[in-house]
Amino acid sequence: MDLFEKCFQPLVALQMKDAGFDAYYRVLQSACDSEVVISGRRMMMLGSNNYLGLANDPRVKRAAAEAVERWGAGMGGSRCLNGTTELHAELEKRLARFLRRQDAVFYTSGYLANLGTISSLVQRGEFVLVDRRAHASIQDGAQLSHGEVKRFRHNDMAHLERLLDGCGEAGKLVAVDGVYSMEGEIAPLPRIVELCRRYDARLLVDDAHALGVLGRDGRGTGEHFGLEGEIDIVIGTASKALPGIGGFAAADQAIVEYLRYGQVNRPFLLATAPPASALAGVKAGLDIMEQEPALRRTLWDTTRRVLHALRGMGFDTGNSQTPIIPISTGSIERTFAMWKMLTEDGFFVNVVIPPAVPSGGCLIRLTFTAAHTKEQVDALLAAVERAGAKLGIIPAPPGFVAEELKVAG
């Protein structure tokens, strides 16, 4: 068999694109903000993870621009050899202090943070237990490790306990998302912590979608539940509530030093260091996040309002408890049809199809930010209700005729 034969097999996303539903790789002609420009047209952005609206904040952009002037456009090498500036060292200290950890190590991306941390810590004869719907970077980090990988059913604590019980006295790491990126669910951290204590397992929480969002001060899932001290390693990203690029692991000093110097953390040691300009923007975003809690309050006011409205209309939004709000649409055809209606109405939303979700569990994923206005949200809710009624996803008003799906399938 030719190695490239698989490349010529039909792909659902390409089939939908050919049918006129070009939902992926759309080219933005403006900065990431509450509105964006695509093909010369302004659209309300509901597909980014820019939770606090800082990606286009003038203070963040100014900090990044000043860093370019001082440090240049790139580092020209890895953190270990020549790619650590004062900014890298300062940001690691700031992140550790914010998260009440002894130290932090900053990676070039959030993906690499999970890949490097998990694969470094779990070795032969040890176990890593992963929620089946955890970030792909957690799954890949577990697979890259030399330990045995056990996957438990999503948020199923009984299944997790059975797997932990089967690990015996070996070293164990439980790795979960704090907030699940497709469903908007918060992990049942109190129960997870209880099981980790009982079975002497260490706990890693990927707070990519919780940092800046959950907790009184935005420190994430641990703060939300009052369990910060029970999490051994916090993984975070600098591409969501914090604006920019990069990721980090925050933990006790010995763990972080092992990740820096242990010679097993290839995704850190062998990756080119992130440019100082990106770090300066992240640092400025962290300052704003700490000093302006009103941004988080605005985000949650919008989130609660939208969840209440959508559920009142009859939409299935699953167990979402966060600014990530999925609308269950069922089939691929209906999902793309709703995407097209919302796109034509001026709303940028994300289409989520298998394998990102189970078969038959397709979603329209909405993500809200502190930058969205009441008027924008009003317009969106009206458009979503109209599209849902046309497609028969929600009950239609009397006399309203649902639209027949005309989608290539």
φ, ψ (nearest 5 deg) of residue 129: -110, 125
> Is 139's pLDDT higher than 80?
yes
How confident is the model over 268-294, as a mean pLDDT?
Answer: 96
> Is 406's pLDDT higher than 70?
no
pLDDT, mean over the chain: 95
> Is 408's pLDDT higher than 50?
no
Q: Tokens 């001026």 appear where?
A: 346
Annotated catalytic residue within 34, 48, 120, 181: 181
Indicate the pLDDT class of residue 407, thresholds 50, 70 and 90.
very low
Annotated catalytic residue within 88, 209, 224, 390: 209
How confident is the model over 302-322, as a mean pLDDT?
Answer: 97
Indicate the pLDDT class of residue 385, thresholds 50, 70 and 90.
very high
Sketch out the chain's domains with CATH numbers.
Answer: 8-45+293-390 (3.90.1150.10), 58-291 (3.40.640.10)
Which of 5-19, 150-164, 291-305 is predicted least confidently? 5-19
Q: What percent of the chain has pLDDT over 70?
A: 97
Query: Rounded to whole angstroms, what are the CA distances from 153 to 119, 161, 178, 198, 244?
Result: 22, 11, 16, 20, 33
How confident is the model over 129-138, as a mean pLDDT?
Answer: 96
Nearest to 49 by CA among 300, 363, 393, 323: 323
> Is 110's pLDDT higher than 60?
yes
Are the C-beta atoms of residues 104 and 89 closer than 8 Å to each other? no
Annotated catalytic residue within 172, 240, 340, 372: 240
How confident is the model over 26-41, as a mean pLDDT?
Answer: 96
The pLDDT value given to residue 192: 98
Nearest to 56 by CA among 213, 209, 285, 274: 285
Q: What is the rounded distance in angstroms from the CA atom of residue 45 to the CA atom of residue 350? A: 10
Indicate the pLDDT class of residue 359, thresholds 50, 70 and 90.
confident
Residue count of the chain: 409
The pLDDT value given to residue 404: 57
Nearest to 53 by CA among 376, 370, 325: 370
The pLDDT value given to residue 12: 87
Q: What is the rounded distance in angstroms from the CA atom of residue 392 to the CA atom of residue 388? A: 6
The pLDDT value given to residue 38: 96
> Is 164's pLDDT higher than 50?
yes
Q: What is the rounded distance in angstroms from the CA atom of residue 79 to the CA atom of residue 274? A: 9
How confident is the model over 272-280, as a mean pLDDT?
Answer: 95
Q: Tokens 């050899």 appear where?
A: 81
Q: What is the rounded distance in angstroms from the CA atom of residue 253 to the CA atom of residue 166? A: 30
Does 239 qualify as catalytic in the annotation?
Answer: no
> Is 395's pLDDT higher than 60?
yes
> Is 402's pLDDT higher than 50?
yes
Does 328 qualify as catalytic in the annotation?
Answer: no
Q: Please report which residue ranges of 145-188 form alpha helices under DSSP H.
A: 157-165
Does 209 qualify as catalytic in the annotation?
Answer: yes
Q: What is the pLDDT of residues 169-209, one digit of tens each?
A: 999 999 999 999 999 999 999 999 999 999 999 999 999 99
Q: What is the rounded distance in angstroms from the CA atom of residue 62 to the CA atom of residue 81? A: 28
Q: Which residue has the higher pLDDT, 406 or 102?
A: 102
> Is 150's pLDDT higher than 80?
yes
SS3 283: helix
Q: What is the pLDDT of residues 37-77, one digit of tens each?
A: 999 999 999 999 999 999 999 999 999 999 999 999 999 99
How confident is the model over 105-129, as a mean pLDDT?
Answer: 97
Q: Structure tokens of 304?
A: 């609660």
Q: What is the pLDDT of residues 67-102, one digit of tens each?
A: 999 999 999 999 999 999 999 999 999 999 999 999
